[in-house]
Each structure stands twice: as C-alpha cells, then as structure tokens.
Amino acid sequence: MRGLFLIVSHCAMLAVGFALGVYLLPILTAPPSPDRADLAAMAEGASYTTEFTRDRRGSDFLHWGEGTVSLTASDIVHEGKLAPGPDYKLYLVNGYVDHEDGFLPVKSSALQVGDVKSFAGFSLPLPEGVDLEAYDTVVIWCEAFGEFITSAQYR
C-alpha cells in the first residue's frame, strides 16, 4: 500500500512540476518589453485605437489581456498587460470575435501578423501591403493550447 501511495504522489508532483514549467518557461524566456515611452511614440498618429479588456467571453483568470491597442500604417502597438503564456500569435480578423468558438471558424481567413513574446506591451510590424480596412478586430491566440486570450474591435 505504501508503494502505491509513493507512486501516485510522485506522479502527481511530476505533473505539477510539468504544468508549472509550461506556465513559467515563457515568462522566464520572454524578451524584455519595450519601454513605455517607446511604445507611446510608436502609437502616435495611429489610424485606429481600441482596448483589450478582461471581460471578453473567452477570457478567464489564466487567459486575458488589458490595455490600449494602436494600429498605425506600419505597426500594431499594445500598451498594457497580457496573461503570460506560450506561443501567442496576433491575428487580424474581419468580424468581431470574443471566444475561441468564434475564432476557430474564421482562423483560416485571418491574417497572422506575428508572434507576441512579451507580456507588458509589444509592437509588431504589419506585413507589407496589409490593408487595415479589410479587417476590424485584433485577436491574441495561444497556438500551443488552442486558447483564446483576448480581442478588441478597432472599427
């Protein structure tokens, strides 16, 4: 009986350690976030400005974003915070989505802008020739786990 208890307890600790590693590794390896003044300067003259908020239907205590999102002719700039996690991607979508069940059907037609690697603000360059008028929503998506993080409609 004691042997069974030891096997179960050690397996449980192994599972907890793995889960903590998956959660903490992106935080430990994240590059430093850009300086707030630099983000504010990049956001000047934005064509569109919107907000990430924690109250999205698909967000929860582990998957959320908050702060201002500015879309310029060349960049998407986020000034705020995101829940840390692995393999975040920023997408532009035509049609508002606030949950993974709304994003998955349109993911194939969404434009993947780039990887989000910092959690206290970021700037991503828009791919050459992107027409912001063809989209109306910014979505942060976790590719590794297929999880909706947050979204914001900019027009």
Which residue type, as a one-letter code, is found at position 14? L
Same domain, yes or no, for 83 and 131? yes
Same domain, yes or no, for 41 and 116? yes
pLDDT tens-digit profile, the chain (155 residues): 788 877 888 888 888 888 777 776 776 676 777 878 888 888 888 899 999 999 899 888 889 999 999 999 999 999 999 998 888 999 999 999 999 999 999 999 999 999 999 999 999 999 999 999 999 999 999 998 899 999 999 98
> Which tokens is 85 given?
């996690």
> Which tokens is 112 given?
């993947």
Same domain, yes or no, for 73 and 140? yes
Contact between 76 and 90 under an 8 Å Cβ cutoff? The reply is: yes
> Which tokens is 83 given?
């829940």
Same domain, yes or no, for 135 and 68? yes
- Gyration radius from the chain CA atoms: 18
CB under 8 Å to 155, separation ≥6 — which residues? 48, 133, 136
**Count of the separate structural domains present in the chain:** 2
E strands, 19-101, in order? 48-52, 65-71, 75-82, 88-93
Domain that holds residue 11: 1-30
Length of the chain (residues): 155
Same domain, yes or no, for 21 and 79? no
Same domain, yes or no, for 139 and 63? yes
